[in-house]
Structure 1
Amino acid sequence: MSSSWAPPLPPSSVISGSGSPLSSFTSAYGVLFRIPGARRFMLTAYLARFGAAMMGVSIIAMLSTRRGSYGLAGAISSVGLVGMALAGPSIGRLIDRHGQRRVALPLGLVSVGALGILLVATRLDAPVWLLVLANLGNAVMPQVGTLVRARWAHLLGGDPRSLHAANSFEQVAEESCFMLGPALGGALATLVFPEAGLLVALVLYAVGVVGLTLQTSTEPPIHEVHEHHAGRAWRAPGLLLLAVTLALTGAIFGSMDIVTLAFAEAHDAKSFGGVALGMFAGGSLVGSLVYGALPITGAIARRLRWGTAAMFVLLLPVLLVDHVWTFALVALVAGGSIAPTLITSTMLAQRLVPPSQINEGMTIVMTGLLLGVSAGSFAGGSAVETLDASRAFLVPCGAALVAFVLALVGGGRVARAERRALSLWGSPAA
């Protein structure tokens, strides 16, 4: 990509806040599709992400069907998640040092090969230790969301409003993948044959990650590591606070999945649970689109407090509802309230670390989100067992409250870290 290219500025009516909502929407997102090469890496990234979103459910469905134990399936699956959490930041650091094509491409293919062995080993009734070892392929799987957000930061670092829209668009892409991917993976494993879901997931991921990493024209350059940039990205002021905030946000997602299904079953509407979850995820998707189209300017850090406050306040009504249809409407609004926190945290992660550590920094915060989902699922399930479905909603509401308090207490530190980062290396593309 030519370094002389610059994204076109939106119309003055949009910048000033006038004009129709539709013109603001099309202006915000239209810029992204006019960037040379952007459509290609958006498409290939989506294929890879969709495949990755299918894998968790596909592995559990495959193992539970072949081995007859959900406990064993969950234990083997969790090994891959823990491995990803431990290895993710180091992989991000390697990508920063050597580039996406040189690191993410071979590691992506290694992870596909390892999970392919898991598929064959499960089919052949191999010993459990081999299944555990093969599933460690998840540990070296590059996080596609991090790779594509790093490309946007490189291309749009000098245009904060367009970068805001790009991060929002990526959140929408991920939401849609995690709405549809698990459903497709589970359906293939159930209706075709147990390994079908994982097989399709691996093909999609392989095609997507190869297609993405071979697009070198939009790949972020390798930045020289200056002395004041040296060290691990987690040491960047404010970054760990963002990781914890996203872990709490992930806990909301994870616990809502479990508790919502239990709530529907307790109200003799078990089949409605999926509809309610779709409303919650759909609300988050729409919220991301709307938030990304807003002409937001100024410091990013101050939005974190408002975002977590909205997330907490708009989740509270789930404690009061006693009917599934009422709950679905409340879930729609609550889902939309989560988008600002997710998008703001991502943008701050891009800003708080130097360009030479952007993949590592974003991997850290996104790993926090994944671990939060896992912890939230466990906490939500435990709450359903020990309390009841309605009171179990205290888990997501409690996570939202802690996130708000954390943003309230630590928001000043994050704001100072943002000002410091801007003074040292400016925009993410600097």
Structure 2
Amino acid sequence: MSITPYRSVLANQAARRALVLGILLRIPIFGTGVLLMLHVVEHLDRSWAEAGLVSAVATLAIAVSGPWRGRLLDRHGLRKVVAPSIVITGSCWAVAPFVGYWPLLFLAGLAGLFVVPIFSIARQSVIAAVPLNERRTALSVDGVGVELAYMSGPAVAVWAGHQFGTAITLFALQMLGVVGGIVLWLLDPSLREEGSATADAAAQIPRSEWFRPAFVGLCLAAAASTLVLVGSEVAVVAGLRQWGESGSLGLVFAGWGVGSILGGLYYGAMSRGLSPYFLLAGLALVTAPMALADSALTVAGLAVLAGVFCAPTITASVEAVSRVVPAAARGEAMGWHGSCMTAGSALAAPLVGMVIDGHGHQSAIVLVCVLGLVVALAGAAAAALVRSRRSQLIPAH
């Protein structure tokens, strides 16, 4: 694997700044989810079901905000969108850790609606900062950054919550996010390539021009990828609990993360990209053998293999969206893409939970992998059909 493509991307100051900001602003988002549930259970002395409701409300609010805030980014630019987010989320989280359950539920939902759309901003600014031939490499680095934030955010948040209390930790974590939002507002990175359409043009692009089957298929593939990832994670947690090896959960998740980072770096260095449907099928196929594991050590080894397809699958779908959607509408498109990923992860937990209760964690892993494979095959077949029809419409010379 050559590191030359990465040298070029990391030598680019605008790309480097966007990548670092993306990691720093995602850590509070990933850390808040598990910390918020612990806060409800331990600090407010509520049930896990009530904690899950708060998490679900916050997650749903973030999913709803994605396309809406993304469209505002297209029309009004970064600063006019981020400024209200800083004020509203900062105000909500300055109060939320220190109130009762029902006010917390409301404030978490309101903050979720106005969360800084960092996933959309980070990916757009990374795309804008590099030439087309370096886009996949840059997005792969961003994917690795997401993995690092995903691995470190919850671990640091839980540790700090146990050391200093969940209320003060939740407050500090969110204030760090506010500081990050202020830095983002001050730097105001470009969200479009030089020479692309202006924000005024975004309002003139009908959604019907790009919200077409090709884009919808990519969003469904994104949802299916998180369904496989989160569904298998929940099932593995249940399996470890059944075997009495819950203490090995960190080892398994570390294997997943290491595999994802290695896969993402390798994919970013490839001379040509791969179809997101092909990678989704690969993700489903390499995750399925985890259903055969009978110990934490076996699961950890298989998690490394499954992780190899994680980051490349997400990177390929983001790159494909950037190709099929005009630059002036990319904010909203990335918002829809991110919301579909959130929807896939939100669907995974209850679906897998029902299967685990009725048929065991092995069946749950098989189910999400089969669903992922079905979406991959359907998406690939639809894409091939569209290409065939286009070739027939091109007149012969």
The answer to whether the aligner puts 1:132 opposite 2:105 as a matched pair is yes
Return the alpha-carbon distance in structure 1 between the equivalents of residues 267 and 329 of structure 2: 27
List 4+ stretches of structure 1 deviating above 6 A. 416-419
Return the alpha-carbon distance in structure 2 between the equivalents of residues 231 and 179 of structure 1: 36
Deviations 1:153-209 (A, max 9, x none): 2222x423x110111011110111111111111222223212133123212211222
1:259: which partner in 2?
235
Residue type matched to 1:243 in 2? Answer: C
- Secondary structure in 2 matching 1:225: helix
Residue type matched to 2:173 in 1? Answer: A
CA contact (8 A) 2:232 2:364 kept: no
CA contact (8 A) 2:289 2:302 kept: yes
CA contact (8 A) 2:19 2:141 kept: no
2:69: which partner in 1?
91
Q: 2:89 aligns with which of 111, 116, 130?
A: 111
Deviations 1:372-392 (A, max 9, x none): 112112222222211123232
| Ranges in structure 1 where 5+ consecutive residues have no aligned partner | 1-20, 420-430
Q: 1:32 aligns with which of 3, 6, 9?
A: 9
- The 5-angstrom pairing of residues 107-186 of structure 1 reads 107-121=85-99, 126=100, 128=102, 130-136=103-109, 137-156=111-130, 158-160=131-133, 162-186=134-158
Return the alpha-carbon distance in structure 1 between the equivalents of residues 261 and 336 of structure 2: 23
1:82: which partner in 2?
60
Return the alpha-carbon distance in structure 1 between the equivalents of residues 297 and 203 of structure 2: 57
Return the alpha-carbon distance in structure 2 between the equivalents of residues 305 and 385 of structure 1: 31
2:172: which partner in 1?
200
CA contact (8 A) 2:75 2:203 kept: no
Name the stretch that deviates more: 192-201 or 166-175: 192-201
| Structure-2 change in CA distance of 1:64 and 1:290 (3 Å) | same
2:353: which partner in 1?
381
Return the alpha-carbon distance in structure 2 between the equivalents of residues 226 and 65 of structure 1: 47
Return the alpha-carbon distance in structure 1 between the equivalents of residues 92 and 71 of structure 2: 22
Name the stretch that deviates more: 53-62 or 217-226: 217-226
2:31: which partner in 1?
54
CA contact (8 A) 2:65 2:112 kept: no
CA contact (8 A) 1:38 1:218 kept: no
Q: CA deviation at 1:316?
A: 2.4
Q: CA deviation at 1:399?
A: 3.0
| Structure-2 change in CA distance of 1:223 and 1:189 (3 Å) | same
Return the alpha-carbon distance in structure 2 between the equivalents of residues 240 and 374 of structure 1: 19
| Structure-2 change in CA distance of 1:384 and 1:97 (3 Å) | same
2:43: which partner in 1?
66
CA contact (8 A) 1:352 1:417 kept: no
Size of the aligned set, in residue pairs, is 385
Residue type matched to 1:62 in 2? Answer: H
1:272: which partner in 2?
248
- Secondary structure in 2 matching 1:71: helix
Q: CA deviation at 1:232?
A: 6.3
2:322: which partner in 1?
350
Return the alpha-carbon distance in structure 1 between the equivalents of residues 50 and 277 of structure 2: 41
The answer to whether the aligner puts 1:41 opposite 2:15 as a matched pair is no
- The 5-angstrom pairing of residues 336-375 of structure 1 reads 336-375=308-347
Q: 1:289 aligns with which of 248, 265, 280?
A: 265
Return the alpha-carbon distance in structure 1 between the equivalents of residues 87 and 204 of structure 2: 34
| Structure-2 change in CA distance of 1:224 and 1:145 (3 Å) | same
Return the alpha-carbon distance in structure 1 between the equivalents of residues 209 and 229 of structure 2: 26
Residue type matched to 2:382 in 1? Answer: G
Return the alpha-carbon distance in structure 1 between the equivalents of residues 280 and 387 of structure 2: 15
Q: CA deviation at 1:234?
A: 6.8
Q: CA deviation at 1:411?
A: 2.2
Alignment identity in percent?
Answer: 21
Return the alpha-carbon distance in structure 2 between the equivalents of residues 85 and 219 of structure 1: 21
Cα RMSD between the aligned structures?
Answer: 2.4
2:372: which partner in 1?
400
| Structure-2 change in CA distance of 1:355 and 1:377 (3 Å) | same
Deviations 1:43-101 (A, max 9, x none): 23321111111111121111111222221111122112112222221110001101111
Q: CA deviation at 1:279?
A: 1.0
Name the stretch that deviates more: 350-359 or 259-268: 259-268
Return the alpha-carbon distance in structure 2 between the equivalents of residues 186 and 323 of structure 1: 25
Deviations 1:111-143 (A, max 9, x none): 23212221122xxxx361x22221121111133
| Ranges in structure 2 where 5+ consecutive residues have no aligned partner | 392-397
1:424: which partner in 2?
none
Q: CA deviation at 1:250?
A: 0.8
Return the alpha-carbon distance in structure 2 between the equivalents of residues 416 and 142 of structure 1: 41
1:225: which partner in 2?
201
CA contact (8 A) 1:233 1:361 kept: no
TM-score with structure 1 setting the length:
0.83
2:394: which partner in 1?
none
Residue type matched to 1:292 in 2? Answer: G
Higher helix share: 2
CA contact (8 A) 1:55 1:198 kept: yes
CA contact (8 A) 1:245 1:406 kept: no
CA contact (8 A) 1:252 1:396 kept: yes
TM-score with structure 2 setting the length:
0.89
Deviations 1:312-355 (A, max 9, x none): 22122223232332221111101112333211100011111111
